[in-house]
A and B are shown apart, each in its own frame.
Chain A
Amino acid sequence: MRWWQIRKRDDDVERELRSDLDLEEEEQREQGLSPEEARHAAVRAFGNPTVISEQTRAVWSWNALDTLLRDVRISARTLFRSPGFSLIAITVMALCVGATTSLFTVVRSVLLRPLPFRDPGRLVMIYEHFRDSSVNADGFNYNPVAPADFHDWRTETHGFEDMAAWRYWDFNLTGEHGELPEMVSARGGSWNLFPLLGVNAAIGRTFTESEDRPDGDVVMLTWSLFERRFGGDSSIVGKQIHLDEKPYTVVGVLPKWFTYPDSRVQLWIPYEEALPPEILAHHDYHFSSVVARLRPDVSLASALSQVEAVQYQLHMQNLHAPVAEDVASRTLNQDLAQDVKKPLIILLCAVGCMLLIGCLNVANLLAARSAARQKEIAICSALGAGRFTLIRIQLIESLLVSIVGGVVGVLLSFAATKWLVSTWGHLSHLPGAQAIHVDGVVLAVACGLVFAAALFAGLLPAISSTSKSAMAALQTSSRTAAGSQARTALRKTLLTVEIATTVVLLVAAGLLLKSFWRLRTTDVGCATNNVLTMSYSLPAKKYDSPAKVNAFNETLLERVRAMPGVRAAALGSTLPADGYGGDDVLTIPEHAPLAAGAILPDALNRTVDPGYFSALQIPLLSGRFFTSHDRNGQPKTVIISHQLAQQYFPGENPLGKHLHVPARDNSDYEIVGVVADTRYHVGQPDMATMYFSVLNGAQNEGMGLTLAVRTATDPLSISMPIQKTIAELDPQLPVKDVLTMQQIIEQSLGNASLSASLVLGFALLSLLLASVGLYGVVSYLTTQRTGEIGLRMALGAERGQVLRLTLSDGLRPAFYGLALGLAASIGAVRLIQSMLYGMQPLDPAIFAAVAASLLIVAALACLVPAWRASRIDPMQALRIE
Chain B
Amino acid sequence: MSSMTKQTPPRANLLQGTLDMLILRTLLYGPAHGHQIGKHIQRSTNDFLQMQHGSLYPALHRLEKRGWVTSKWEMASDRNREFKYYRLTDKGRKQLLAEESQWKQMAEAVARVMWPTAEES
Contacts and interface: CB of A to CB of B under 8 A. Distances in A.
Q: Do the two chains bind? A: yes
Interface of A: 12-13, 15-17, 19-20, 22-24, 26, 44-48, 51-53, 55-56, 58-60
Q: Which of B35, B52, B60, B65 has the most CB of A within 10 A?
A: B35
Contact of B57 (A15, A16, A23): A16
A16 B54 contact: no
Contact of B35 (A12, A23, A44): A23
Given A52-B53, A52-B57, A59-B58, 7 more contacts: A13-B61, A15-B84, A46-B53, A55-B57, A56-B61, A59-B65, A60-B61
B33 interface: yes
Nearest to A59: B61
Contacts of A48: 54
Q: Which of A45, A58, A59 has the most CB of B within 10 A?
A: A59
A87 B65 CA distance: 45
Contact of A56 (B35, B57, B79, B82): B57
B35 A51 contact: no
Nearest to A51: B54
A51 B53 CA distance: 10
A290 to B, nearest CB: 69
A17 B61 CA distance: 12
A427 B65 CA distance: 67
Contact of B82 (A17, A19, A45, A52): A19
Contacts of B35: 20, 23-24
Interface in B3-58: 4, 33-35, 52-54, 57-58
Contact of A47 (B52, B60, B65, B79): B52
Contacts of A24: 35
Contacts of A23: 35, 79, 83
B102 to A, nearest CB: 23
B94 interface: no
Contacts of B82: 19
10 contacts: A19-B81, A20-B53, A20-B83, A23-B79, A24-B35, A45-B53, A55-B54, A55-B57, A55-B58, A56-B58
A15 B82 CA distance: 10
A64 to B, nearest CB: 14
B62 interface: yes
Interface string B81-113: 111100000000000000000000000000000
Contacts of B79: 23, 26
Q: Which of B57, B65, B79 has the most CB of A within 10 A?
A: B57
Contacts of B60: 56
A93 to B, nearest CB: 40
A44 B4 contact: yes
Nearest to B76: A23
Contacts of B52: 47
B36 to A, nearest CB: 9
A12 B53 CA distance: 16
Contacts of B62: 59
A17 to B, nearest CB: 7
Contacts of B57: 13, 16-17, 52-53, 55-56
A60 B34 contact: no
A46 B54 CA distance: 8
A47 B83 contact: no
B84 A47 contact: no
B74 to A, nearest CB: 11
A55 B61 CA distance: 10
Contact of A19 (B4, B53, B84): B84
A45 B33 CA distance: 17
Interface residues of B, number: 18
Contacts of B34: 16, 20
A424 B55 CA distance: 67
A47 B54 contact: yes
Contacts of A47: 52-54
Nearest to A23: B35
Contacts of B84: 12, 15-16, 19
Nearest to B37: A20
B95 to A, nearest CB: 17
A51 B57 CA distance: 11
A334 to B, nearest CB: 58
A51 B65 CA distance: 20
A45 B54 CA distance: 11
A58 B53 contact: no
A44 B62 CA distance: 24
Contacts of B61: 13, 56, 59-60
Contacts of A19: 33, 81-84
Contacts of A45: 53
B21 to A, nearest CB: 18
Nearest to A12: B84
A233 to B, nearest CB: 72
A59 to B, nearest CB: 4
A53 B4 CA distance: 23
B33 A20 contact: yes
B121 to A, nearest CB: 44
A350 B16 CA distance: 55
Nearest to B66: A59
Contacts of A58: 58
A45 to B, nearest CB: 8
Contacts of A44: 4
A56 B35 CA distance: 15
Contact of B65 (A12, A20, A60): A60
Nearest to A44: B4
B18 to A, nearest CB: 18
A12 B60 CA distance: 13
Nearest to A57: B61
Contacts of A26: 79
B103 to A, nearest CB: 23
Nearest to A24: B35
Contacts of A55: 54, 57-58
Nearest to B61: A59
Nearest to A56: B57
B48 to A, nearest CB: 16
Contacts of B33: 16, 19-20
B68 to A, nearest CB: 13
A190 B61 CA distance: 77
Nearest to B62: A59
Contacts of A15: 84
B13 to A, nearest CB: 14
B30 to A, nearest CB: 18
Nearest to B8: A44
| CB-CB nearest 9 A-B residue pairs | A20-B35, A59-B61, A56-B57, A16-B84, A55-B58, A56-B58, A47-B53, A47-B54, A23-B35
A53 B34 CA distance: 13
A38 to B, nearest CB: 15
A533 B93 CA distance: 98
Contacts of B65: 59-60
A60 B71 CA distance: 15
B53 to A, nearest CB: 5
A52 B54 contact: yes
A695 to B, nearest CB: 99
A47 B55 CA distance: 10
A53 B53 CA distance: 10
B91 to A, nearest CB: 17
Contacts of B83: 19-20, 23
A51 to B, nearest CB: 6
Contacts of A53: 57
A295 to B, nearest CB: 61
A538 B52 CA distance: 101
B77 to A, nearest CB: 13
Nearest to A61: B65
